[in-house]
Structure 1
Amino acid sequence: MIHALQTLLLVIFPVLVIVAALRDATSYTIPNWIPLSLVAAFPIAAVALGMPLHDIGMQAAVGVAALAVGMGMYAARWIGGGDAKLFAAAALWIGWPATMTFLGMTGIAGGALAVSLLGLRSAMVRPYMPSGPAWFARLVEPGQNVPYGVAIAIGALVAFPTSALIAHG
């Protein structure tokens, strides 16, 4: 029963970052309940997995640092507010040293996403794009933003298996 509960708690993270990515791709918004749920579930998961208090503190420090960086990126208008909150909540779960993988993979995924969207939004490709749902038409519309929550989710999912939380699970 304990292992089932631990597994269930560990599934919360990937499910919520995938939901955030899908919401960002389809609506350019990440609802506040997603990062708030991640932050609220983290201490429960950490305690249930037997993570030592000093490790929980280190995870929290990484999350606070990520929030400061995310707020800076938001202030510079590089990412949206929901992206900044998701970035911080994901960093809380991932912790140190897996944060380096998270940052690197998020950057690579963000670059690939931006280049892909530029290609889809180009005058040469756009006439051949199939019609689809309104969210897809908005996604490939020239001049639209990049739903960076998708890149954050990819980076988080790649880094999560190497996180300190998983090591304690």
Structure 2
Amino acid sequence: MTAYLAAALVLVFPALVIVAALRDAASYTIPNSISLALLAAFPPAALALGLPLPAIGLHAAIGLVALLAGMAMFAMNWIGGGDAKLFAAAALWLGFPAVASFLLGTCVAGGLLALLLLTLRSARVRPLVTAGPGWLVRLAEPGESVPYGLAICAGALAAFPASPLIGAFRAFA
């Protein structure tokens, strides 16, 4: 495998989580196709980069636990279904120990996102964005949902350098 192919495989993850975040910010939806693409791209990337099968199994277990946690958060109406699936797909890619940084980064980014939305939706700031693009006006709408895909993306990108996949890529390149 060439270094270019290895780099392309590794770049699938950040590209797709960024697309998911942008879609969530613009439409409050994360298409299933993005989470499914992340799920489908992980095994070839992991195998091509030489991750051992036990490590791939650990990634899968982490992804499954994250899916169950995401389903619980969805059941409590804390996050949307697309957020839960993206959360699980990101955890699958990140593995151990990066998943701890992912959780912390997602929580911190979620708190910052909540503060940003509270400010944007305030009586002082909201009138300033009503002439902006439709997605921004919708973000500023009081009572609207929180596009948590943005926080998941931030946490995932912050944790990705600690992922075993990046470690395998560094060893490969």
Interval of TM-score (by shorter of Structure 1 and Structure 2): over 0.9
Q: Which residue is 1:27 aligned to?
A: 27
Q: Which residue is 1:166 aligned to?
A: 166
The share of aligned pairs that are identical, in percent, is 62
- 1:14 deviates by 0.3
- What amino acid maps onto 1:131 in structure 2? A
Pairs within 5 Å for 1:57-136: 57-129=57-129, 131-136=131-136
- 1:166 deviates by 0.9
- 1:133 deviates by 1.4
* Alpha-carbon distance in structure 1 between the residues aligned to 2:127 and 2:28: 23
Unaligned runs of 5+ in 2: none
Q: Please list the CA deviations of residues 26-75 of structure 1 after superposition, one character each: whole Å capped at 9, or x if unmatched.
A: 00000000000000000000000000000000000000000000000000
* Alpha-carbon distance in structure 2 between the residues aligned to 1:71 and 1:114: 21
* Alpha-carbon distance in structure 1 between the residues aligned to 2:112 and 2:41: 31
- What amino acid maps onto 2:36 in structure 1? L
* Alpha-carbon distance in structure 2 between the residues aligned to 1:6 and 1:144: 41
Q: Please list the CA deviations of residues 98-151 of structure 1 after superposition, one character each: whole Å capped at 9, or x if unmatched.
A: 111000000000000011100110112222335111111111101001100000
RMSD: 0.9
- What amino acid maps onto 1:86 in structure 2? L
Pairs within 5 Å for 1:150-161: 150-161=150-161
Q: Which residue is 1:56 aligned to?
A: 56
Unaligned runs of 5+ in 1: none
Q: Which residue is 2:147 aligned to?
A: 147
* Alpha-carbon distance in structure 2 between the residues aligned to 1:37 and 1:128: 38
Scaled by the length of structure 2, the TM-score of the pair is: 0.96
* Alpha-carbon distance in structure 2 between the residues aligned to 1:166 and 1:59: 13
* Alpha-carbon distance in structure 1 between the residues aligned to 2:2 and 2:30: 32
* Alpha-carbon distance in structure 2 between the residues aligned to 1:136 and 1:124: 15
Pairs within 5 Å for 1:29-44: 29-44=29-44
* Alpha-carbon distance in structure 2 between the residues aligned to 1:21 and 1:125: 23
Larger displacement relative to structure 2 (148-157 or 130-139): 130-139
Larger displacement relative to structure 2 (132-141 or 153-162): 132-141
